[in-house]
Amino acid sequence: MNTIKYISLALIAACSFTACAQNTGNTKNVRELSLAKAYESKFLIGTALNSEQIEGSDTSALKVVKTQFNSIVAENCMKPEVVQPNQGKFDFALADKLVQLAADNNAFMVGHTLVWHSQTSDWMFHDADGKLTTRDTLIQRMKTHIQTVVSRYKGKVKGWDVVNEAVLDEGGLRKSLWHQIVGPDFIELAFQFAHEADPNAELYYNDYNMYLPAKRAEVVKLVKRLQEKGIRIDAVGMQAHYGLGADYFEEIENSINTFASLGIKVMVTELDVSVLPFPSEELTAEVSTSYANKPEYNPYTNGLPDDLETELGDYYAKLFKIYNRHSDHISRITFWGVNDAQTWRNYWPINGRTDYPLLFNRENEPKPAYAAVMRLAY
């Protein structure tokens, strides 16, 4: 594929980082070909790391991480079922390595996530007989989990996704086991426990489809409840799992404005843009969603056509134009993965597909979408 035709900044997506730097005299624009440096006056640029990257075996991806990103988050290794698979049995092996990797790269470390209805072991919600545990017991288990994890990384993890995906798309709170057993105040308790464990850490609420008006209104109520009770909340994380052709741009901007008006930061989290057809008219990021794999849902196994490369770049450009307009309120933009080989969109909502939703391809080379984003930094 000839990507040069898409590039106006020093052949960004057509050659290696080093070669590009050597082949242009426009050093102001190239800025060592780093997303982080290009946007350093606006917001942090982050990425999520998987176990191979954290362990150090994926050295090619780690070179991209070191060059391109100044914020790091765990894709999975800090989720409750990984950190505490059995009651009282904590496993910090990967999380420790991730936190050290962030420190070695002077990256802003984000912890993901403390309280979530998914990827939390069953023991958290049940007693020895398999029955739902009591409110008091679950609160104590939550407190122990949060304070053990947060205190371990006190001063190292700079911000935490305290509660993840507790609001329904149509408004109202998700009737998760957290809500069913504890009640709606489980959210307040989670933020309170996290703040007690590290008073200096930033605390976030994180969710998908935050452009939906009903969901946005519910999150506003959530934030105001915390604020009125004097409970710390620093930011709302707007997950950004989008797809080509999905025109949410106006409502995305409305949500940024609305959340910023609450006096908190806005963060764009889990950013990726699928190029594959979604098997439902309702686009979601609900992890329990699953569909059978059919050829019509996996059309680009041998590579992405040039016209879709262009379309993907245009979509990212529309997003970053919005982000740039609101850079005084947005503190971080985090891509959900380093490259297309890593992305969860290869196995969700259909396992075994070949997707291309990120800025770097399977060989960790920058794509035309990378150039589209870089152009908007200047």
- CA-based end-to-end distance of the chain: 27
Distance between CA 69 and CA 64 in Å, rounded?
8
Sign of the four-CA dihedral 58, 112, 202, 142: negative
Among residues 342, 349, 362, the alpha carbon closest in space to that of 51 is found at 342
- Yes or no: say if 317 and 372 are a contact pair by the CB < 8 Å rule: yes
What lies within 8 Å, CB to CB, of 145 at 6+ separation is 80, 83, 84, 114, 124
Q: Where are the alpha helices (DSSP H) in 91-207?
A: 93-104, 135-152, 177-181, 186-197
- Cα separations in angstroms, 376 against 31, 163, 314, 325, 329: 13, 32, 11, 11, 17
Q: Is 253 a catalytic residue?
A: no
- Yes or no: say if 6 and 373 are a contact pair by the CB < 8 Å rule: no
Distance between CA 311 and CA 244 in Å, rounded?
8
Q: Which of 165, 218, 309, 311 is catalytic?
A: 165
* Tokens at 346, concatenated: 């290869």
C-alpha 296: how far from its chain's center? 28
* Tokens at 190, concatenated: 């989670």
Q: Which of 188, 202, 218, 270 is catalytic?
A: 270
Strand duo 330-335 + 202-207: pairing = unpaired
* Tokens at 175, concatenated: 């009737």
Peptide bond into 349 cis (omega under 30): yes
Q: Is 55 a catalytic residue?
A: no
Residues annotated catalytic, as ranges: 165, 270
